[in-house]
Structure 1
Amino acid sequence: MKKLLLFAVTALPAAAQVPLQVAAESAAVEARHEGNQFVLEVQDPGNHAWRVQTSDHLGGWTNGATHRVFNGFLRIPMPIEGSQRFFRLNSDEAEAVTSDADSALLLPATLANYANPALPPHLLTQLIRGQDNTPAANPTTNAGATLGRALFYDKRLSANQTVSCSSCHQAAHGYSDPRQFSVGFEGGLTGRNSMGLTNAKYYLRENFFWDERAATLEDQVLQPIQNSVEMGMTLDLLVTRLSAEPFYAELFTDAFGTATVTSNRISRALAQFVRSIASGQSKYDQGVPLNFTNFTAQEQQGRQIFNGQGNCVACHGSDNFVPGNAINNNGLENPYIDKGVGALTGLPQDEGLFKVPSLRNIELTAPYMHDGRFATLEQVVDFYSTGVVNHPNLSPPLRNPPGAPGAGQPRRLNLTNAQKAALVAFLKTLTDTSVTTDEKFQDPFRYEVE
């Protein structure tokens, strides 16, 4: 029995909200009075079908249309007509509903271009191509990334169907999480801050997670699904769950030639979508062919500090602002509470080694560092100016060079307030909202009855 009863009268003022919320099993419904209609908002992690029923006296119910919840939530507009004073959603008497891709998803008639995005010339050089971690066995295709997009936003990937990949990698925040630690499917907290995904495909070392424990992106995307805190699933259960959805049969067929759902195909599709999130339209990118004449004086000063005095480029190099083939200890503390790679290997020389992500869209991905300890870019710049802690594994670019005063000790840039503000201003030129707002990267599920 999943029946939900909802009672509403037409005499409510136009701006009123109906506070009544009735739940059955894990589903709940709330009604809002909007103009000349009610909108029924259904929260249903089980993704059931619901028949709308109306009545003028509660002595009998008139059947209306049946609607399917496809990803945990659905808004159903209900025009107020005649003597109808009561509304009900009844899953027990729901009709069979279509569950194809057109019904479940808002996808363009022609697949979006994920495989060959338009990038400026400076992001097509041999240096940049050499940073691309796309394996030959899993090139990004339009159909594959479209499937990956649906999977990325689908809460079916968590045990109780309440959390998706996008819950911890939110587009508006550079595909990261504004919380210090992300909230898992049962309310538990992750051990590290969620890393932004912008330009994840450009990382010469190929490994993923802060401690690089996943050898490839294909390996990485399956691990949160199986994590006991994050999503709590088994791959076998996930395959069974997705195989039961007709719309996925279409997407898997388009991407891989047959409707068969496998964990390998899930992995490949998710990786294709994540790699497609590539930035190339920031103010910085616009400035490259102009020799940065589009920059303000403050941004120019920040760029000079980044490449010169600050030597930030040593760990955030090239036009993608990523490291070369190095993993670094940036002197956050000594000893490290979270030992990074050292926690995996048990080796003292690996303590405090963490992946260096791209700085693209860094303005959007607060808080910062693997533990989210810094709330703002200003705090990050303060740290690198005067706060780097001496540690046996501290990376060379953060030490005074041999022969210099204080050789081997942590560098102290001692930037002025104006210089620190300039460096922050430069970092903000790396913001590219085209990849955080482009429709092809947004949630594709239908959440409102048309």
Structure 2
Amino acid sequence: MKTILLLPVLTLPALAEVPFQVAAETASIRFTPEGNGFVMEVNDPGNHAWMLQSTDNSSGWTNMATHRVFNGSLRIPVPRDGSRRLFRLNSDVAGQVSSSAANALILPGSPYNYANAALPAHLLTPQIQGQNNTPVTNPTTNAGAALGRVLFYDKRLSANQTVSCSSCHQAQHGFSDPRKFSVGFDGGLTDRNSMGLTNARYYLRENFFWDERAATLEDQVLMPIQNEVEMGMTLDLLVQRIDAEPFYDELFTAAFGTPEVNVTRISRALAQFVRSIVSGSSKYDLGVPTNFSNLTALENQGRQIFQGPAGGCAACHGSDNFVPGNAIFNNGLENPYVDKGLGEVTGLTSDEGFFKVSSLRNIELTAPYMHDGRFATLEQVVEFYNSGVVSHPNLSPQLRLPPGPPGSPPPQPRRLNLTAQQKTALVAFLKTLTDTSVTTHPKYSDPFRYQAQ
């Protein structure tokens, strides 16, 4: 099917977005003046090839460059020459732009180091290594995580090619979503808040999702792809889509030795990339060797509250990774629980209200908080633990007075009774766990080219 859009170069201001059909997909284009020319901003979920053509009305159309959309959108700069020239984009292109990794992606000359992250000594201890959920069958490699990075940002993984894993796990937000509930491929909302991925590889229990329904990260990464709200795909269509894109031949060969695309390889690559998202350069980390002399008095006060009996936070967020041991927790958010958490999976009353506790690293960036995003700020979270924990039969021992196991007589919830200044200090300390080197490093960023070459 041939689709043409005529654009007079001297038309100002920029046109509104213009929709049109390409094959079975709806594409659109925006014509925007920029510098000494203009830009054709093409939104094309079908990832077609386009030929730019021009005419001065005195002769036929002149072919200019041919461009390929690789991940849903492309900016095509066009110089202005002062004439009343017309331009058009033609999707009826004989021969497409080469679908090579070099054309489609912005990759470094030498592979990024995903396999052996440079971590400080306090994150290389036996305790920390014991929290690592990397299976022996899927060690993180540079090529494997590089492939996983591309898949993580590729919108082909959703039914209508409009969302990717990164849509709900945004780097600038600690690989979470600033909305309470994420928007799926067809506009529907998820039923839980997106969990941040920083230091996801450090979790002794290995399970994933708030309710721990995925036994491993390798299982987890495939579930949103198949979810009817999130990405709406089948695994057969997933393999077909990825296998049909030639640039993936290079990436799968580098990662696994051959270009074969299958579900297992996709799962392993995505898991490798997620496990590579590791924090070790926060203000807290820089302070460990000097007994936190770099922290302010307020931050150090908050650290002492966090780690000491006044707050008791380390009981559920322990070690320098701020993750639990081999436990899942009911933190008394409500009674009864609207969302039963683990109890929804097992069907057991004794499991109601239990949710996974992830690392607090980059917690400043991952608002809103809790499985349902009910708290907008860290201040609200601290106040909840200070005065808002609700009595529940399954309330975890750390939040009971006196301490006792879940299922024992109805508990008295623990109250921290912190002063306003102490609560401010605790929030200040939590912000020392922020590590923007993770959220801004190119190796974790979107690798696709969105500017025509």
TM-score by length of structure 2 reads: 0.96
Q: Which amino acid in the other structure matches residue 337 of structure 2?
A: Y
* 2:417 alignment counterpart: 414
How far did 1:4 drift?
3.3
Q: Which amino acid in the other structure matches residue 272 of structure 1?
A: Q
Q: Which amino acid in the other structure matches residue 433 of structure 1?
A: T
Cα pair 2:392 2:410 within 8 Å, conserved: no
Cα pair 1:2 1:24 within 8 Å, conserved: no
* 1:80 alignment counterpart: 80
* 2:348 alignment counterpart: 347
Q: Deviations over 1:296-350 (max 9, x none)?
A: 1110110011011110000000000000000000000000000001011111110
* 2:40 match: secondary structure: strand
Matches within 5 A, 1:85-234: 85-234=85-234
Q: Which amino acid in the other structure matches residue 366 of structure 1?
A: A
* 1:32 match: secondary structure: strand
Cα pair 1:54 1:62 within 8 Å, conserved: yes
Cα pair 1:155 1:163 within 8 Å, conserved: yes
Q: Which amino acid in the other structure matches residue 316 of structure 2?
A: C
Q: Deviations over 1:245-302 (max 9, x none)?
A: 1100100000000000000000000000000000000000000001001011110110
How many correspondences in the alignment?
Answer: 445
* 2:20 alignment counterpart: 23
* 333-342 or 394-403, which deviates more: 394-403
Cα pair 2:200 2:274 within 8 Å, conserved: yes
Structure 2 CA distance for partners of 1:60 and 1:315, relative to 1, 3 Å: same
Distance in 2 (alpha carbons) for counterparts of 1:343 and 1:55:
63
- Any stretches of 5+ residues in structure 2 without a counterpart? none
> In the alignment, is residue 33 of structure 1 matched against residue 15 of structure 2?
no
How far did 1:18 drift?
3.3
Cα pair 2:369 2:376 within 8 Å, conserved: yes
* 1:359 match: secondary structure: coil
Structure 2 CA distance for partners of 1:402 and 1:427, relative to 1, 3 Å: closer
Structure 2 CA distance for partners of 1:241 and 1:288, relative to 1, 3 Å: same
1:448 to 427, 446, 451: 451
Distance in 2 (alpha carbons) for counterparts of 1:266 and 1:243:
11
2:442 to 439, 443, 446: 439
Distance in 2 (alpha carbons) for counterparts of 1:87 and 1:62:
9
> In the alignment, is residue 365 of structure 1 matched against residue 401 of structure 2?
no
How far did 1:6 drift?
3.2
Cα pair 1:178 1:366 within 8 Å, conserved: yes
* 1:284 match: secondary structure: helix
How far did 1:11 drift?
6.6
Distance in 2 (alpha carbons) for counterparts of 1:242 and 1:46:
13
- Any stretches of 5+ residues in structure 1 without a counterpart? none
Distance in 2 (alpha carbons) for counterparts of 1:408 and 1:72:
53
How far did 1:9 drift?
3.1
* 1:18 match: secondary structure: coil
Structure 2 CA distance for partners of 1:20 and 1:343, relative to 1, 3 Å: closer
Cα RMSD, aligned residues only: 1.5
* 2:260 match: secondary structure: coil
Distance in 2 (alpha carbons) for counterparts of 1:166 and 1:382:
31
Q: Which amino acid in the other structure matches residue 18 of structure 1?
A: L
Detail structure 1 runs of 4+ shifted over 4 Å in the superposition.
none
Distance in 2 (alpha carbons) for counterparts of 1:87 and 1:187:
34
Cα pair 1:51 1:89 within 8 Å, conserved: yes
Q: Which amino acid in the other structure matches residue 306 of structure 2?
A: F
* 1:185 match: secondary structure: coil
* 2:238 alignment counterpart: 238
> In the alignment, is residue 43 of structure 1 matched against residue 43 of structure 2?
yes
Distance in 2 (alpha carbons) for counterparts of 1:84 and 1:112:
47
Matches within 5 A, 1:258-297: 258-297=258-297
Cα pair 2:68 2:96 within 8 Å, conserved: no
* 1:321 alignment counterpart: 322
How far did 1:354 drift?
0.3
- Counting aligned pairs with the same residue, the percent is 73
Distance in 1 (alpha carbons) for counterparts of 2:11 and 2:325:
67
How far did 1:22 drift?
4.4
* 1:60 alignment counterpart: 60
Distance in 2 (alpha carbons) for counterparts of 1:267 and 1:56:
52
